Chain A
Amino acid sequence: MTEPFISRGFRGRGRHGATAARLPPGQYETPDFPVLSAGPTPRTPVATWDFLLRGADGPAARWTWDEFQALPHETVNTDIHCVTKWSKLDTIWEGVSLDTLLAEAAARGVKSAPYVLAVSDGGYTTNLPLADVAGGRAWVAVKYQGVPLTPEHGGPARLLVPHLYFWKSAKWVRQLRFMEHDTAGFWESFGYHNYGDPWREQRYSGDA
């Protein structure tokens, strides 16, 4: 459509807020924390939880919950943007930077690759370029607003990649697999965009 279609009598209200500039196109701010997941919520006790960074050729670095908790944690204040249109500003998370995990894995001889696939309890997956989980832009988060993550928000641990739409921040994450070739994850196979930059409004497959 070349000419924007004007909706008769629509005024809207989201443009004047102090935070409007922080909202990507098509998003609205919510004070709530909605949930989007495709099935029942998995509940994994921390006693059996572990986290794996698996090399493209097999060997993996593994952390138990206690080992993971012993790694340096960071506090992250960030805005998050869900493809279902809501954004939540100034959310506060605590977790381990992927840079820390990547460096540890490299030191243990795990072979890197240009892409990663996050794999979660319940079978959820999502794919990301390695570059997007490195350089201080991604974490494995274990707390939200100072409190351990509840199962419905992805606890005990979820990925946090706030510069991409929030389905990339996989809940219940247990593994990152290095991939030589980019392979579609769960929503990426059901019509959602492969990369998912909210500022370019890459919601669905084929969006620019």
Chain B
Amino acid sequence: MSSGTAATREPGSATVRSAAIAWRLATVVDVVTETPRARTLVLDVPGWPGHRAGQHVDVRLTAEDGYQAERSYSIASAPEDARIALTVQRLDDGEVSPYLSDVLRGGDRLELRGPIGGYFVWGVALGGPLFLVAGGSGIVPLMAMLRHRAAALTANGDARHGVPARLLYSSRRWEDVFYRAELARLAEDDGTLEVALALTHEAPPGWTGFRRLIDGRMLAEVAWPPAERPKVFVCGPTPLVEAVATALVELGHDPALVKTERFGPTGGSRSAA
């Protein structure tokens, strides 16, 4: 129902049944190392119904004895791409991500279903300005939005009149920044996209970007003014998303325009990106 092929309904509409989101057998056609702890699986998915930027898939692994584990992964690729890309960050104590990171290789098959989620999505038709805030692997669904935006620009043949977009992206260290080269290229090629990086733990010599956790002052500096009513998407670890969403509302942004996707536990210090 939230897929690219079926309409989403308004809350309050009558409930209806729709077809189940089918499990599909994807084939790994490429594996790209993004950071020391993350890699992208490029998948060929027969019968893929299409997706919108921001949606995710469920991945299911089955052991010889029938034991199964499922996890959700955001789609990194644009809807315009023929293949689906998932960027997976390896969690040392994880059950599924070490398999996807260490075991799975080109030619292997992987069971998944999707696309899932119809709220944390953006397409050029929704307009802007667009303000994206990512922490760590939270960049993945936002990258799908930027790739979709770039694909639409290319289709228009005019890089000067895209939906104005800004990305604020926090990582621990320079080597942890996903899609570094591609983000730099996108920002260079496109006068309507600005990318600001924040490094929280360690920065290379000569670093000119932000060198601290995202805070209200940084958001006031980077975000569009609330009066321009930017469409905001925030994705990352729960403490980062809580802090960013709260600060944006305090700065005067309309809570209804701030869409969030959180992962991981609450509490603790905001030591993570």
Binding site for B on A (CB under 8 A): 1, 4-15, 25-26, 28, 30, 32-42, 84-85, 122-123, 125, 127, 150, 152-153, 181-191, 194, 203-208
Contact = CB atoms under 8 A, between A and B. Distances in A.
Which 7 A-B residue pairs are closest in the complex by CB-CB distance? A191-B2, A32-B265, A206-B20, A190-B118, A40-B245, A26-B70, A205-B1
B266 A39 contact: no
Contacts of B158: none
B20 A204 contact: yes
Given A191-B2, A191-B117, A39 B8 contact: no
B17 interface: yes
A85 B72 contact: yes
A160 B169 CA distance: 35
A34 B262 contact: yes
Contacts of A5: 25, 62, 109, 111
A204 B220 CA distance: 38
A122 B256 CA distance: 8
A162 to B, nearest CB: 19
B70 A85 contact: yes
A204 B21 contact: yes
B255 A183 contact: no
Given A15-B67, A183-B14, A205-B18, A10 B99 contact: yes
Contacts of B13: 183-184, 189
B15 A183 contact: yes
Contact of A26 (B20, B68, B256): B68
Contacts of A28: 69, 95
A182 B15 contact: yes
B17 A34 contact: no
Contacts of A205: 1-2, 17-18, 21
B118 A191 contact: yes
B63 A36 contact: no
A189 B9 contact: yes
A197 B3 CA distance: 22
Given A183-B12, A184-B15, A12 B108 contact: no
A48 B64 CA distance: 56
B246 A40 contact: yes
A23 to B, nearest CB: 11
Nearest to B248: A40
Contacts of A125: 11-12
A91 B110 CA distance: 34
Interface residues of A, dominant DSSP: loop
Contacts of B248: 40
Given A39-B259, A191-B116, A152 B18 contact: no
Contacts of A14: 67, 69, 95
Contacts of A188: 11, 15
Given A33-B266, A38-B259, 17 more contacts: A1-B111, A5-B25, A6-B62, A12-B61, A15-B65, A25-B68, A26-B70, A28-B69, A34-B262, A35-B262, A40-B248, A40-B260, A183-B14, A191-B117, A203-B58, A205-B18, A207-B20
Nearest to B245: A40
A39 B256 contact: yes
16 contacts: A5-B62, A7-B62, A10-B61, A14-B67, A14-B69, A14-B95, A15-B65, A32-B264, A34-B265, A38-B120, A39-B245, A190-B2, A203-B58, A206-B20, A207-B20, A207-B21
A30 B69 CA distance: 14
A34 B264 contact: yes
Nearest to B120: A38
A206 B21 contact: yes
Contacts of B118: 189-191
A205 B113 CA distance: 13
Contacts of A30: 265
Contact of A206 (B19, B64, B249): B19
Contact of A189 (B11, B99, B120, B242): B11
B204 interface: no
A199 to B, nearest CB: 15
B14 A182 contact: yes
